[in-house]
A and B are shown apart, each in its own frame.
Chain A
């Protein structure tokens, strides 16, 4: 009897866990996938690399996961950053323009030559991304603009900046070392996955082993009280926007490396919406305050898995956005405790009603 009660308590505890519904969503999506194509679970080790559909999904989700982590912190401070897509384009454009690259045959040996040293290009791209975040952060924290308006400026202007850098062209990159970022493997695992994992761990550490998490949450829940308690809300807010933009910059590098080109017009297009969606799917409320970093990463995985599923089950490309929207709608409803309660009442009441 007692163990029964314990088990019941444990189940209730599990159901109440904030990551429960994101995990369920992901598992269901994968199961649907598997029913169409059982090879999805198939992982193999070939040429010292890990191959398989799951690896593909995770690899492709990495840029979105990075942005979603940044977005999580922004949203936790009651903000939002809709300029991340534009920052992706800017960072990709800078890296591509600076590296350019050529295949040179020197004494019969093929070597790649970049326009400037690659590390310099990467640092510049990330630095400019961080500056974009500084701009956003100052508009929000210093000028006191509404976050959605403040970042709207860069969302619109940023694409223009990216096109200026690429001179309106799609720049193709011919420099193999750069391809490693988005396509390479380290210890058999895709390199982009390593980046996402390192960022996640570093952030997890910063949020739990320093007071950053506590401060961000108190700013998001009650800014006036946080200020009165001595929390420096402005520098923290600025840093959070900078971090978010930096993550967008890193995602821009991964994406441009993956497709070996930079397109000022289309790189990272609508990624801000995917990132916000990932955060929401992960159970963080857009009203700020309590947040879940792991949830947002799960959210990014859910979105990528959904995209993969839509392609793999052969949904016609014309309607795939509609299908995506429908699935997201259902998932959002299921995640709402209010909706579940209403649903339960409806299901429970109906048989009674039919009986009478």
Chain B
């Protein structure tokens, strides 16, 4: 199918017509202008990075491209022909295959079944006879071989790592005669080795003439793999750049529309000694829960940011959930402001001044159909109870205030929160908790899946809050982030705390501590 095999890896020349050309694309949601007059070109044999902050319109552009919803205006051409895919299946038949951010596979089916779901190879004249299992396994193996993967395709998908699952998703997408492959944040749950492996597969596909659209938040990754970069901001295209001609600083500037000030986050780790004298706001002594957390101690003092350093599955989230009363402790003691308490519902923790932004924004954070206003006041209202109902005017005042303070970009406070971008949703959740004026704030991965600028804003906000006396427990997979903001770092490993490091420690210190205690 691929017509432009001549264009070798990484040197797609604009001389050839683009495989995919979008022009003047516009998309309006009820209150928000998601895309405005966007042009986008994708050439055969290139990896094209699509960059932008949350809310810049990346996801919308991809959804238009893959037929999830139609554009309001503009035209799409695939190999010069006008197309308008009505749904993702339609787009796939046209040759545009997509691997979405969340892996949309069935973990309890086998690898082969996942690859061929909905189009199992069959026996018999017109495929009316039973499923041809041996042939399916053989074909699945061939598909994966193209991605340099040799695994047992009859085993269930869940028995493989996320990285392998990602490959399976790509294999599934590629099983139709794809000309364009869209990867929406494929690396967000992969470790470094797995990313490298994915990249080598992408390079190979590129050399076969496939046009690859690669969406990511990671700057180093886009520079490592992309040949060309398109930047979106506020629903408009800022520009299209050749990667070698673009400096990282310039890219960030293009994304956020101003120079990035990295120094503003630097924080002196001096006040820690004075803090040690203060009475702790929260003290956990040997808290444990079977199968989730081994006996762990933790103390939080006023005006202190404590980082939880550790790998995925080290018990960070589990500890946070115990402290907040989302799960009950099996053993150990918990003290909030000197008062011993056995929590069995978050409401008890909230009444005592705790707040928590959960790891999973979608499933435990937002209440999608409710408005931004209702989402912001929810925790405060829950704390006040059923009878002390905040008047509509008071609700609006609170919501509007936080819209301004946290710079939440939304049409208005009555639009459903689900219409907001990920970064703005996260800010709204932060607003929900700040409205309760908490003493202790637990942040579990507050910056995951968020662009640089929103990340920065949220981090700055956390700093300010800590300076005003709030205790913050900060959980992040990015050690640099933990190290940069924390006054103290509790290092976790294998479901327990293995030690603490003072503020100002380096990421190497954290890694060493994790590695040393075995």
Contact = CB atoms under 8 A, between A and B. Distances in A.
Chain A contact-residue range equals: 20 to 34
Interface in A210-228: 210-212, 214-215, 217-218, 221-222, 224-228
| Residue among A211, A222, A225, A232 having the largest count of chain B Cβ atoms under 10 Å | A225
A225 B374 contact: no
Say whether chain A's binding surface is mostly helix, strand, loop, or mixed. helix
Contact of A211 (B324, B365, B385): B385
15 contacts: A210-B386, A210-B387, A211-B381, A211-B390, A221-B367, A221-B368, A222-B366, A222-B368, A225-B363, A225-B364, A225-B367, A227-B346, A228-B324, A228-B356, A228-B358
9 interchain residue pairs of minimum CB distance = A230-B382, A230-B350, A230-B347, A229-B379, A231-B382, A224-B364, A218-B367, A229-B378, A222-B367
B363 A224 contact: yes
A209 interface: yes
Interface string B423-435: 0000000001000
B389 A209 contact: yes
Given A209-B389, A211-B385, A228 B326 contact: yes
| Residue among A211, A228, A290 having the largest count of chain B Cβ atoms under 10 Å | A228
Interface string A220-260: 01101111111110000000000000000000000000000
A209 B381 CA distance: 13
Interface string B377-419: 0110111111111100000000000000000000000000000
A289 interface: yes
Contacts of A224: 363-364
A232 B378 contact: no
| Residue among A212, A217, A229 having the largest count of chain B Cβ atoms under 10 Å | A229
Contacts of A222: 363-364, 366-368
A348 B368 CA distance: 34
B250 interface: no
A11 to B, nearest CB: 17
Interface in B256-285: none
Nearest to B381: A211
Nearest to B360: A224
A311 to B, nearest CB: 40
A232 B383 CA distance: 10
A289 B369 contact: yes
Contacts of B370: 214, 217-218, 221
Given A217-B370, A221-B369, A225-B364, A231 B389 contact: no
B384 to A, nearest CB: 7
A229 B347 CA distance: 7
Given A209-B389, A215-B382, A230-B383, A225 B346 contact: no
B345 interface: yes
Contacts of A217: 367, 369-370
Contact of B381 (A214, A221, A228, A290): A214
Contacts of A232: 345, 347, 382
Nearest to B391: A209
A229 B365 CA distance: 8
Interface string B323-342: 01010000000000000000
A230 B379 contact: yes
A98 B351 CA distance: 47
B84 to A, nearest CB: 15
A289 B370 CA distance: 9
B100 to A, nearest CB: 21
Contacts of A210: 386-387, 389
A244 to B, nearest CB: 18
A139 to B, nearest CB: 20
Interface of B: 324, 326, 345-347, 350-351, 356, 358, 363-370, 374, 378-379, 381-390, 432
B368 A228 contact: no
B368 A231 contact: no
Given A222-B363, A225-B364, A230-B346, A214 B369 contact: no
Contacts of B385: 211
Nearest to B366: A225
A224 B368 CA distance: 12
A217 B370 CA distance: 8
A342 to B, nearest CB: 13
A210 B368 CA distance: 21
A258 to B, nearest CB: 35
Nearest to A212: B386
Interface in A269-320: 289-290
A228 B364 contact: yes
Contacts of A227: 326, 345-346
Contacts of B379: 229-230
A228 B324 CA distance: 9
Given A210-B389, A214-B378, A225 B350 contact: no
A329 to B, nearest CB: 27
A231 B363 contact: no
Nearest to B351: A230
A219 to B, nearest CB: 9
Interface in A48-82: none
B378 A231 contact: yes
Contacts of A209: 389
Interface in A182-212: 209-212
A215 B385 CA distance: 10
A225 B378 CA distance: 10
A228 B323 CA distance: 12
Nearest to B365: A225
A331 B107 CA distance: 39
Nearest to A218: B367
A230 B369 CA distance: 18
A201 to B, nearest CB: 17
| Residue among B346, B358, B374 having the largest count of chain A Cβ atoms under 10 Å | B346
Given A211-B384, A211-B387, A218-B378, 5 more contacts: A211-B382, A211-B388, A217-B367, A229-B350, A232-B347
B363 A229 contact: no
A234 B363 CA distance: 19
A212 B385 CA distance: 9
Contacts of B326: 227-228
Contacts of B365: 225, 228
Contacts of A290: 369
A209 B392 CA distance: 10
B277 to A, nearest CB: 32
Contact of A215 (B368, B386, B390): B386
Contacts of A218: 367, 370, 374, 378
Contacts of A231: 347, 378, 382
Contacts of A228: 324, 326, 346, 356, 358, 364-365
B234 to A, nearest CB: 27
Contacts of B374: 214, 218
Contact of A229 (B368, B382, B386, B390): B382
A224 B385 CA distance: 18
A33 B369 CA distance: 38
A209 B389 CA distance: 7
Contacts of A215: 381-382, 386
